[in-house]
Amino acid sequence: MSMSTSEPEAAAVYLDYAATTPVDARVAVAMNECLTRTGVFGNPASQHVYGRLARARVEAARAQVGSLIGVPAPQIIWTSGATESNNLAILGIARAAQARAAHRRGAHIVTARTEHKAVLDPCRRLEQEGFRVTYLTPDTQGLIDPLMVRDALTAETVLVSIMHANNEIGVLQDIEAIGECCRKRGVPFHVDAAQSAGKVPIDLSHAPVDLLSLTAHKLYGPKGVGALYVSAPRRAEVLPLIFGGGHERGLRSGTLAVHQIAGFGLACELCASERLEETRRIEALRARLWDGLREIPGALLNGHPTRHVAGILNVSFPGIEGESLLMGLPELALSTGSACNSDSDEPSYVLRALGRDTETAQSSLRFSLGRYSVETDIDRAVGALRREVARLRAVAP
């Protein structure tokens, strides 16, 4: 997809769908219907007709989101996005367990070193509160062995949190097998599905998952809205983080943003109906991209060759510093896998967890493709990468 020339860096090819997606035009129409006085603008908590109409729109969206992951609508809790969903799941479950007598001290959580910061930071917060956290190390391709999860469980484990698709390398974890290990031990299992929902099939009617985080803006919905699936048996085991009115049956207070929720719902419905064809098309584009990039001497695929979401490709170009590479590609909008910016000189902790050395980790770029990516975008990206890698390698000592 090429952005219109009204944007900065005119006509830059957008290859950062894992960071966020544009709102689908059909979704924008649905959202717009919930904003003005002729639309569904009411407060869903109100009892009058405007409120009832808004409530109906919210509940229809709840059913659309639930349908995407195979769960009944009432088990969907609206949030502001996956970060809040992850916080609610992790802090909510852990603190509730701590409040129960059996886990007054030494309660334990299992997660992975490659999780998003929205999981790792709540876990670190819990460590400050006295919890013990096990951070599992994946194999060199990013996979967490379910047996590793099983072996990490103790009598004190109150939660396992493992993401479905990794945001940097796209690797898909076997959440069914991991969930089985947890279920056998009666341990709640939370999954961050921000990068996989709408892109790979998720059917929680069969998968042993107790909580699952979603966000709208990764699947062509608006920013600022997300959801947490909480299975019926676990609902009473989650303490809320936000108080003030008891919305969402006490789990998440606050007036519901009807336009965002309506947009989220339709975005999920569109993903469900178009996923197969879209995935096939994006997978082909990803293969075309990798075929072009692998011709660059030393190019190294980060992640798993087959177990990945269609749209994410992470590649290291050893000998090239990632931020310089990114700066040399103004015609492309993508992300470096390293965090070498003014705030941090640390290379990607995800790639370091895979065993990549520092230099390889800081030479990585994440390409993420989506609904509006086309072949000419891929060819332009490959051409630009070949040019810039050659230029920077010529400069290197």
Partner 1 sequence: MNAPAAAPDQLEPRIRELFGSLDHAGELTAERVGSAELAAERILTGEAGREALGTRVRFMLGIAAQRVVAARYRAYGCPHTLAACEWLARELEGRSFEGPLPTSLQALRIDTPLAWAERLGIPAAKLGRLLVVEDALRAALTLS
Q: Binding to partner 1 by residue 343, rule CB under 8 A?
A: yes
Q: Give the residue, chosen from 321, 352, 367, 377, that forms a contact with partner 1 under the rule CB under 8 A.
A: 321
Query: Based on CB atoms, which residue is closest to partner 1, 7 or 291?
Result: 7
- Report whether 251 contacts 243 (CB < 8 A): no
Query: Based on CB atoms, which residue is closest to partner 1, 33 or 323?
Result: 323
Query: Based on CB atoms, which residue is closest to partner 1, 115 or 237?
Result: 115
Q: Binding to partner 1 by residue 163, rule CB under 8 A?
A: no
CA distances to 194, 297, 313, 321, 347 from 316, rounded to whole Å, are: 24, 11, 10, 10, 12
Q: How far apart are the first and last CA of the chain?
A: 36
Q: Is 246 left (phi over 0), alpha (psi -120 to 50) or beta?
A: left
Q: Which tokens go with 74?
A: 């009432």
The strand ranges marked E within 250-363 are 300-302, 312-316, 332-333, 335-336
Q: Give the residue, chosen from 167, 215, 279, 302, that forms a contact with partner 1 under the rule CB under 8 A.
A: 167
Distance of closest approach, residue 362 Cβ to partner 1, in angstroms: 6
Q: Is the dihedral of CA 206, 211, 212, 215 positive or negative?
A: positive
Best CA proximity match to 348, nearest among 182, 130, 162, 117: 117
Q: Give the residue, chosen from 348, 352, 356, 367, that forms a contact with partner 1 under the rule CB under 8 A.
A: 348
Q: Binding to partner 1 by residue 339, rule CB under 8 A?
A: yes
Q: Binding to partner 1 by residue 155, rule CB under 8 A?
A: no
Q: Give the residue, chosen from 345, 355, 376, 387, that forms a contact with partner 1 under the rule CB under 8 A.
A: 345
Distance of closest approach, residue 55 Cβ to partner 1, in angstroms: 35
Q: Binding to partner 1 by residue 277, rule CB under 8 A?
A: no
CA distances to 134, 145, 185, 232 from 151, rounded to whole Å, are: 11, 10, 11, 27
Q: Binding to partner 1 by residue 335, rule CB under 8 A?
A: yes
DSSP-assigned letters across all residues of 125-176:
HHHHTT-EEEEEPP-TTSPPPHHHHHHH--TTEEEEE--SB-TTT-BBP-HH
Stretch that binds partner 1, among 57-65, 120-128, 285-293, 324-332 (CB under 8 A): 324-332
The amino acid sitting at 338 is S
Best CA proximity match to 189, nearest among 252, 146, 225: 146
Q: Binding to partner 1 by residue 336, rule CB under 8 A?
A: yes
Q: Give the residue, chosen from 324, 373, 377, 381, that forms a contact with partner 1 under the rule CB under 8 A.
A: 324
Size of the site for partner 1 (CB under 8 A): 43
Query: Based on CB atoms, which residue is closest to partner 1, 61 or 353?
Result: 353
Burial 120-150 (b: 16+ CB within 10 A, else e): bebbeebeeeebebbbbebeebbbbebebbb
- Report whether 306 contacts 66 (CB < 8 A): no
Residues 10-69 that bind partner 1 (CB under 8 A): 18-19
Distance of closest approach, residue 290 Cβ to partner 1, in angstroms: 20
Stretch that binds partner 1, among 79-87, 101-109, 156-164, 344-352 (CB under 8 A): 344-352
Q: Binding to partner 1 by residue 394, rule CB under 8 A?
A: yes
- Point out the residues that are catalytic: 340
Q: Binding to partner 1 by residue 213, rule CB under 8 A?
A: no
Residues 102-131 that bind partner 1 (CB under 8 A): 116-117
Q: 295 φ, ψ to 5°?
A: -75, -20
Q: Binding to partner 1 by residue 192, rule CB under 8 A?
A: no
DSSP-assigned letters across all residues of 68-114:
HHT--GGGEEEESSHHHHHHHHHHHHHHHHHHSGGGSS--EEEEETT
Q: Give the residue, chosen from 62, 247, 259, 366, that forms a contact with partner 1 under the rule CB under 8 A.
A: 366
Q: Binding to partner 1 by residue 5, rule CB under 8 A?
A: no
Which residue has tokens 């086309």?
374
> Could you list the residues that contact partner 1 (CB under 8 A)?
8-9, 18-19, 116-117, 167-168, 319, 321-324, 326-330, 333, 335-346, 348-349, 357-359, 362, 366, 391, 394-397
